């Protein structure tokens, strides 16, 4: 079962440095084992762009039903026709017009966070900005009190965590189950309140979809709220901190962006490719199929390593280079096909605003001396727990 797979068992990514910089290992896998079967755990792994793209988008051959043990059925782990119906309903809360309306609020939150640290010259990008911003935004969008946001973070951390060793497996599953039942109770309460008094937030929009059309079940509404919380938090935190890390790693970038802020959306896009917050997407083989001559059997698990696909030399020229002007930039970071990330416009907007505000305020930025890479504990995400920088 997907919840019981430990990628570190075969990945050769053990040190903190290797976990945050898996790219040399990916390159090696693309060259030597582009389609790799981990026989111990019975899992296929694909590292090339074309293969990863097919695995995540060929819905007839690869299913999103990855686990029987997952505590919650939700949009990310169902297939058509259920997925098609649910997706068309919840998309109503994510139209470009609705997303654009959020811009001033995101701007206010960002400025508020940076004002709080305006007197300091050493700041922590994660703690001071990348971590609080997405959770404030999602709390606002869902129309729930910002005061609950620490609890929110704890829940979403438990739900995205993957086991780092075989011994951890049961504990991680227990944690997920606990977080899920607490979240269900929390959101049931909120939804009840909003049924009485409808506002303009996403939950209220979805309650209308449920009540008017009777197509969205109460259970689906509840699990969608939980998905939004989980899918939109840690990923966006990682995008913002990975962007800043990429800027300090590639020294001319900050200066270039300061001179020409219209390049900031490109910088966001290139960060998405270069250091994807999500590195691996799992699927289950739905019907026997072949990849590059290897036979995959119905029921087997496949990992699409999108972090590697994004650096595939067959797809991107000079892939190990952070190129502010890369065009086209057809990375797989938000997925591909019917499950394409619903929150992509929002994630891009948040990152654009956060980075613009940082670049506007500070003329230089550098990593604090003595900093040791501090990656988050997740086998399928790429991000930092802390990133202390000196700003002037």
Binding site residues, ligand HEM, CB under 6 A: 56, 64, 75-76, 87, 138, 227-228, 231-232, 235-236, 239, 277-278, 281, 333-335, 339, 341-343, 346-347
The least distance separating ligand HEM from the CB of residue 210, rounded to whole angstroms, comes to 17
Q: Within 10 Å of residue 248's Cβ, how many Cβ atoms?
A: 18
Nearer to ligand HEM, 277 or 319 (CB): 277
The strand pairing partners of 390, in sequence order, are 122, 366
The least distance separating ligand HEM from the CB of residue 344, rounded to whole angstroms, comes to 7
Nearer to ligand HEM, 229 or 293 (CB): 229
The least distance separating ligand HEM from the CB of residue 137, rounded to whole angstroms, comes to 8
The least distance separating ligand HEM from the CB of residue 369, rounded to whole angstroms, comes to 29
Rounded Cα gap, residues 372 and 208, in angstroms: 49
Nearer to ligand HEM, 148 or 258 (CB): 148
| Structure token pair of residue 9 | 């068992």
Rounded Cα gap, residues 123 and 388, in angstroms: 6
Contact 296, 302 (CB under 8 A): yes
Location of structure tokens 């977080």: 179
The strand pairing partners of 37, in sequence order, are 44
Listed in order, strand segments (DSSP E) in the chain are 35-38, 43-46, 62-63, 122-124, 280-285, 289-291, 294-296, 301-305, 365-367, 388-391
Q: DSSP of 42-91, one letter per residue?
A: TEEEE-SHHHHHHHHH-TTTEES---SS-S---GGG--TTHHHHHHHHHG
Q: Which residue is nearest to ligand HEM (CB)?
A: 343
The least distance separating ligand HEM from the CB of residue 74, rounded to whole angstroms, comes to 8
What burial class does residue 27 get, using C-beta atoms within 10 Å of its C-beta: 0-12 exposed, 13-18 middle, 19+ buried? middle
The least distance separating ligand HEM from the CB of residue 25, rounded to whole angstroms, comes to 20
The least distance separating ligand HEM from the CB of residue 135, rounded to whole angstroms, comes to 11
Angstrom distances, CA of residue 113 to CA of 36, 66, 264, 349: 45, 38, 20, 17
The least distance separating ligand HEM from the CB of residue 75, rounded to whole angstroms, comes to 4
Nearer to ligand HEM, 258 or 329 (CB): 329
Rounded Cα gap, residues 298 and 40, in angstroms: 18
Nearer to ligand HEM, 95 or 166 (CB): 95
The least distance separating ligand HEM from the CB of residue 84, rounded to whole angstroms, comes to 10
Nearer to ligand HEM, 130 or 365 (CB): 130
- The b/e string for 177-205 (b: 16+ C-beta within 10 A; e otherwise) is eebbeebbebbeebbeebeeeeeebbbbb
Nearer to ligand HEM, 76 or 378 (CB): 76
Rounded Cα gap, residues 374 and 59, in angstroms: 36
Nearer to ligand HEM, 48 or 302 (CB): 302
Nearer to ligand HEM, 87 or 111 (CB): 87
């Amino acid at each position: 079962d997907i919840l019981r797979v430990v990628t570190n068992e075969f990945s050769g990514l053990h040190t903190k440095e290797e976990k945050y910089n898996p790219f040399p290992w990916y390159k090696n896998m693309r060259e030597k084992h582009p389609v790799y079967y981990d026989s111990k755990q019975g899992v296929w792994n694909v590292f090339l762009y074309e293969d990863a793209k097919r695995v995540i988008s060929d819905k007839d051959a690869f299913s999103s039903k990855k686990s029987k043990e997952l505590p919650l059925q939700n949009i990310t782990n169902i297939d058509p026709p259920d997925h098609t119906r649910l997706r068309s309903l919840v998309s109503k809360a994510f139209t470009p017009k609705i997303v654009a309306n959020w811009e001033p609020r995101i701007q206010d939150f960002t400025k508020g966070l940076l004002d709080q640290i305006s007197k300091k010259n050493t700041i922590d990008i994660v703690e001071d900005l990348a971590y609080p911003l997405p959770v404030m935004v999602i709390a606002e969008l869902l129309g729930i009190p910002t005061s609950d946001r620490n609890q929110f973070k704890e829940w979403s951390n438990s739900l995205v965590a993957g086991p780092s060793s075989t011994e951890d497996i049961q504990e991680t599953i227990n944690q997920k189950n606990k977080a899920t039942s607490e979240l269900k109770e929390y959101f049931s309460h909120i939804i009840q309140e909003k049924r009485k008094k409808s506002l303009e937030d996403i939950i209220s929009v979805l309650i209308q979809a449920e009540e008017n059309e009777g197509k969205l079940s109460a259970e689906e509404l509840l699990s969608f709220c939980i998905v939004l919380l989980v899918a939109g938090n840690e990923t966006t935190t990682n995008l913002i901190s990975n962007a800043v890390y990429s800027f300090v790693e590639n020294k001319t970038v900050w200066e270039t962006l300061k001179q020409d802020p219209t390049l900031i959306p490109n910088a966001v896009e290139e960060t998405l490719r270069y250091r994807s917050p999500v590195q691996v997407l799992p699927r289950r083989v739905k019907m026997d199929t072949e990849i590059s001559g290897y036979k995959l059997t119905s029921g087997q698990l496949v990992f699409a390593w999108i972090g590697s696909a994004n650096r595939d030399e067959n797809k991107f020229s000079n892939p190990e280079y952070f190129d502010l002007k890369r065009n086209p930039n057809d990375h797989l970071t938000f997925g591909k096909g019917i499950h394409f990330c619903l929150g992509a416009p929002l994630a891009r907007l948040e990152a654009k605003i956060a980075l613009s505000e940082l670049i506007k305020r500070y003329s230089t930025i550098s990593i604090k001396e003595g900093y040791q890479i501090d990656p988050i504990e997740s086998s399928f995400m790429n991000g930092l727990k802390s990133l202390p920088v000196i700003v002037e």
